Structure 1
Amino acid sequence: MCPDDVGRCFRDRESAVKKKIEPNSQEVVLGSGEMIVSKTDLTGRITYANRTFMRIANFAERDLLGVQHNIVRHPDMPRGVYRFMWETLKSGQEFFGLVKNMTADGAYYWVFANVTPDLDASGRAMGYFSVRRPPPADAVRAVVPLYEAMLRAEREAGAANAPDASMALLHKTIEDLNTTYDKFVLGLYKG
């Protein structure tokens, strides 16, 4: 237990858990009727995780509550997607996206994520509410090449500029398709 510095305790626990996880090629599949639900505070710390989230991600509740949601971030996910997500949420809009996550034992699972600001009675954001559903296999196949290109852009740009570089590539791709991000992602989800 960490009675003096709870924040540091959570950061130390997150760091220890993430260092132990090595990605592998084992896929966990979310059932067709299943939904992963979680809530976070404004900084992305998990305040609620449903049983489906715990089962699919293979984390106990005590290992999720109070830690950053990025504990399930798979290294195959471009940082630019998360930069775009945070910009979208902080502007008060909801975010849709196809996301590859990692379980506590290194397996991966794909989800179609919908993240929305959780507002108080006066309309101020108190945190974020996320519902993740199984994505169509065609949607995953369609987005993988884009994410791979975004990851290449991140490596070429270096760590400090990686999120901006891959987000710029995402914006250019959407612009070249003559659509909006939401229409692009929702189109992938609907097939």
Structure 2
Amino acid sequence: MSAIPTENEIVMKENDFIVSKTNPSGVITYCNEIFMEMAGYREEELIGRNHNIIRHPHMPKAAFKLAWELIQEGKEFFGFVKNATKLGAYYWVFANITPDYDEQRNIIGYTSVRRKPKAQALEIIVPLYQKMLEIERNQGIKASYEYLLNVLEENNTTYNALILSLQGEHV
């Protein structure tokens, strides 16, 4: 379990890639060295634990709801995620989660690759997440999720398209 969150930020290096794999329930089955370094955990503290071990309380639950919906449908998820370290610091990532399949095309797990997010993207995402968190506290996850969907509809975009455009990636 991570410590009480602090305002100490750890910034990813420009060329770092955090990689992890989970089973279909989100239990970590693989993590690379950079993941362990950023999160401050040893491999044996991560393997066999749910990936939410690094979930930061400033992340809206509605964002994870959307992520799970997409990946369980066999689609990719792109997103900006604020993670917590074992000692209470935090770090932002630009995440891409993809399903892993067996020979019969059954989902057998997920692979997540994370890299450094663009600072300009976080300038837009942080206020959006703060608003979603406020809605979650007052009205619940469903209302926060609906708020996000309304923002996407107003901007005539999808979540992944918005995230990719903020990161400067092609849709």
1:169 correspondence with 2:147: yes
Unmatched runs of 5 consecutive residues or more in structure 1: 1-16
Q: How far apart are the structure 2 equivalents of 1:141 and 1:64?
A: 30
Choose from 41, 46, 53 the match for 2:28.
46
Taking the aligned partners of 1:163 and 1:128, their CA distance within structure 2 comes to: 24
- Code of the aligned partner of 2:107: A
The within-5 A match list for 1:128-139 is 128-139=110-121
For residue 153 of structure 1, the aligned residue among 135, 145, 151 is 135
Structure of higher CA gyration radius: 1
**TM-score when normalising by structure 2:** 0.96
Alignment of 1:17-32 (within 5 A): 17-18=1-2, 21-32=3-14
Q: Could you say which structure has the higher helix fraction?
A: 1
Identity %: 46
Q: How far is 1:34 from its partner?
A: 0.3
Alpha-carbon distance, 1:94 to partner: 0.7
Q: Deviations over 1:88-143 (max 9, x none)?
A: 11111010000000000000000000000011122110000000010000011110
Q: Tell whether 2:94 aligns with 1:116.
A: no
User: Which sections of structure 2, spanning at least 5 residues, go unmatched?
Assistant: none
RMSD (Å) for aligned C-alpha atoms: 0.9
SS in 1 for 2:12: coil
Matched residues in 2 for 1:81 and 1:180: separation?
A: 13
Report the residue type matching 1:169 in the other structure.
Answer: Y
The residue number in structure 1 matching 2:65 is: 83
Per-residue CA distance 1:52-86 (angstroms, 9 max, x = gap): 00000000111100011000000000000000100
* Alpha-carbon distance between aligned partners in 1 of 2:120 and 2:49, rounded to the nearest angstrom: 32
Distance 2:36 2:159 in 1: 30
Higher RCO (C-alpha under 8 Å, 6+ residues apart): 2
